[in-house]
Structure 1
Amino acid sequence: MSRRPFVRPVRIQSPVPAAGTRGCSWLDEPSDDELVAAVALGDEAACRELMNRHLPRITALGRRMLGSQADAEDVAQEVFLRVWTNAGKWEPGRAQFSTWLHRVATNLCLDRLRKNRGGTEDIDAIPEPASEEPGPDRRLEQSELAERVEAALQALPERQRAAIVLSHYQGLTNIEAAEILGITVEAVESLLSRARRQLRGSLATEKGELLRSKDMST
Structure 2
Amino acid sequence: MKLLEVKSLNIYCNDKNNIKHLVKGLSFHVNRGEIFGIVGESGCGKSLTSKSILRVLEKHFLITGEVEFEHENILEFSEKKISSLRGNKISMILQDSSGSLNPLKKIGKQIEECLLIHRKNLSKCERMKVINDILEECELAHLENILNRYPHELSGGQRQRVVIAMAVICEPSLVICDECTTALDLRIQLKVVRLLKKMNKDKNMTIIF
Fold in common (TM above 0.5):
no
Q: Highest Rg: 1 or 2?
A: 1
Structure 1 length-normalised TM: 0.25
Bigger helix share: 1
Structure 2 length-normalised TM: 0.26
Greater length-normalized contact order (CA 8 Å, ≥ 6 residues apart):
2
Bigger strand share: 2
